[in-house]
Structure 1
Amino acid sequence: MKKTGYNAHGFTLMEMVVAITVLGIVGAIAFKILTNQVTAFNDVFSNTVAVADLRKVIRGIRRDLRNLDRSAVDEMSASELTFKKNDGTDVHYLYEAGHFMKNDSVIIGNILSEPFTYLNVEKDETNSADSLSFVQVSLVVEAANGDTVSITESIYARN
């Protein structure tokens, strides 16, 4: 007796083409989403590192200016601040060619603008050490991803 019918195992060529096409589309979408997530993470991480570096610098400046005596200020300009601390040590902050330095040692690079503004008690700009009440430090830096990150803090000169 002869068998009638057809016993087919597997997939047809058309089914395989459709399955591979759908799988390729889903894979491309998943890859794009994953790539966007990695890029966003890297951007946030770069900005976070830049902000952490800026905060560290601001903390050091705040510590140095904590008991600033106005009469001990030798130089105050938008790019430079020189003064003598209460213990007699000289402190010299300088912005030059994108670098921010303390006593000739670079403490942070990629700075985009002059960091210092000097304010009187009414928070108006002043160029006189006699009327100095606040030192406003504004650090603007370019993060590793190319974003611009900034921190501004007004530090009170107590003495």
Structure 2
Amino acid sequence: MHATLVEWMGPEDANNGGFVHGGTIMKLCDEAAGLAAVRHSRVRCVTAGMDRMTFNSRVDVGEVVTLQATVNAVWRTSLEVGVKVTAENLQTGETRHTSTAYLTMVAVTAEGRPVQVPPLEIADDDVQAQRRQREAQVRRTNRLDERAAFHPEGS
């Protein structure tokens, strides 16, 4: 499942250096990931965590930012959504990959209780989706191992 958000970055998005706040990009990643998660699960989804956020280059005020979110993997009540961020300079037409984020979303009922998510169906010939799913599983395993190392008795 996919979702795309497109935003034109204005002066209200700028930091004191005149570039777009990293936090603005993070918020937009969260929105795009949430949209993809809800499209897949058809229920409300909340952000459980952001596994990784990389900033490859800055985004300038006046550029158009496109966020492409893809559900990479699904577990019982959670999903990993990858978000690729690109910026386009409207005067030159130059487009560049500026950021990548991986977010864990949890499907919940109206009362906020986790609810089972439909499985992610990947075609046998979709090698990119299969790769994204494998990599998502590695990130999940690492998150769970880290949690166990910090909280050995589940505390």
TM-score between the two structures when normalised by the length of structure 1: 0.27
Q: Which structure carries more relative contact order (alpha carbon 8 Å, separation 6+)? A: 2
TM-score between the two structures when normalised by the length of structure 2: 0.28
- The structure whose residues are more often helix, as a share, is 1
Q: Which protein has the larger Cα radius of gyration, Structure 1 or Structure 2?
A: 1
